[in-house]
Amino acid sequence: MYAALEYVAIGLVAVVLVLSTLSSMHTLVQGVKLMESEQLYTVAERVLNKVLLTPGRPINWGTDLTITEDNMTDFGLALAGSHEPYVLDPDKLMRLVNYSWFGNPAFLDPRHVASLLKLEGYGFMLEFAPLFTLRATPLAVDPDTGVAVQLDVTAINYEGEPLANVNVTGLLLVLYSEGGCGSSTSVDVNHALLRDNEVTGIDGSCTLDFTSEFGALKPSLLGDANKVTYALLLYGEWHGYRTTSHYAPDQGALNVYLIGPYVIAEYAADAPPHGAVILESEALEAIPDYSKLVKVRRVVVECVGDEPSDWTPACRVVNKGAKFYQLYRLEHVERLASHAILVGCRLGRLFAYVASKYPIEPVRYG
């Protein structure tokens, strides 16, 4: 009897010891996890401040494409010379973009950036997304010229939901040439700017209507669709937050990056009809000034190669040839320009190709 009670007592003591040990282990593990979480938070905060508040070294690594992983000694995205904190350099951000449909030749290797940030043992991912974006869809097209005179614009927030009360400014850039497209000679291209301003409704959409302004312009366009093209530049403002976007009818034929004064272009027309893009030696840049809407001015395009100033036929043509891409330099491009508009001929028609200064989709880098 007493032996049985002793065994029971020993068993109870053993259970208490085991439960105490498990409780101590649980407390210890939770403490370690909490400590690791606090350490990771400290590291993340340090890295985030470094990335957002310092320009990196060399400080002009965004616009100087000769600066690569091999000669870059520090990483940061801040705009050099800015007197305000958390102002990012869009050119540096564009060097982190690597679209799935067109690899960025100026892309920086994330492994090297992780080394510069002392994050080799952690792994990291930088994500940048605009607060909202704008998407345009043509509603009505002029039958003689092919220019969209009415377009539906939808504002979408970062969660994919429609956004109301966005002030949308649309700049319809109409380009036209009396001589039309030539295969070996440059064409004289003129342009006109049509503006409209609307506010998105509860469904996040609004309609930009250029019908009246285009009707006044149309007599000077000769009514030949091959000699006329257009591009729509969009600027949105919502409670002080701003974004840009664009739309052009033949945009899918050319993949483009705009980084500093450089345009990287790749032929992308996979579906028929195929046809090389023959670029003109002048482009347009859009410079947003929100007190005066937007101004557009001409800039000279140079081919980057052995003879940068030699605008040869081989340099002008972008097609599915031996070169993976063509690199161009825009002379005297404004630092605050939002878009560069390349003008070219394809399949005997005049087209515009818009290169954005800002990423056209969320950036995931790491």
What are the tens digits of pLDDT across the range 303-331?
Answer: 776 454 555 667 888 887 756 788 898 88
Q: Mean pLDDT score of the chain, rounded to an integer?
A: 83
Determine the straight-line distance between the first and last CA of the chain, rounded to whole angstroms: 70
* Confidence grade of residue 182 (pLDDT, cut at 50, 70, 90): low
Per-residue pLDDT averaged across 269-277, rounded? 79
Residue-level pLDDT at 294? 60
Question: % helix / strand / coil in the chain, to the nearest 5?
Answer: 25, 35, 40
* Confidence grade of residue 193 (pLDDT, cut at 50, 70, 90): very high
Of all residues in the chain, what percent carry a pLDDT higher than 90?
A: 48
Residue-level pLDDT at 83? 87
d(CA 69, CA 108): 7
Query: Locate tokens 């034929």: which residue?
Result: 253
* Confidence grade of residue 131 (pLDDT, cut at 50, 70, 90): very high
Residue-level pLDDT at 33? 43
CA dihedral 54, 58, 60, 61 (to 10 degrees): -100
| Total residue count of the chain as it appears in this document | 366
- Which residues, other chains included, contact 270 with Cβ-Cβ below 8 Å and sequence gap of 6+? none
Residue-level pLDDT at 275? 86
Other residues' Cβ atoms within 10 Å of the Cβ of residue 342 = 26
Higher pLDDT, 114 or 24: 114
Tokens coding 362: 């969320």
Model confidence at 8: pLDDT above 60 = no
Per-residue pLDDT averaged across 213-242, rounded? 92
* Confidence grade of residue 28 (pLDDT, cut at 50, 70, 90): very low
| Ramachandran class of 211: left when φ > 0, alpha when ψ lies in -120 to 50, beta otherwise | alpha
* Confidence grade of residue 14 (pLDDT, cut at 50, 70, 90): very low
Residue-level pLDDT at 302? 78
Tokens coding 34: 């909490």
Q: Return the SS3 of 247.
A: strand
d(CA 329, CA 314): 16
Model confidence at 186: pLDDT above 70 = no
Ranked by mean pLDDT, the top range of 80-94, 132-146, 287-301 is 132-146
Ranked by mean pLDDT, the top range of 173-187, 267-281, 284-298 is 267-281
Residue-level pLDDT at 7? 40
Ranked by mean pLDDT, the top range of 9-23, 290-304, 337-351 is 337-351
Per-residue pLDDT averaged across 130-144, rounded? 96
Model confidence at 11: pLDDT above 50 = no
Residue-level pLDDT at 268? 86
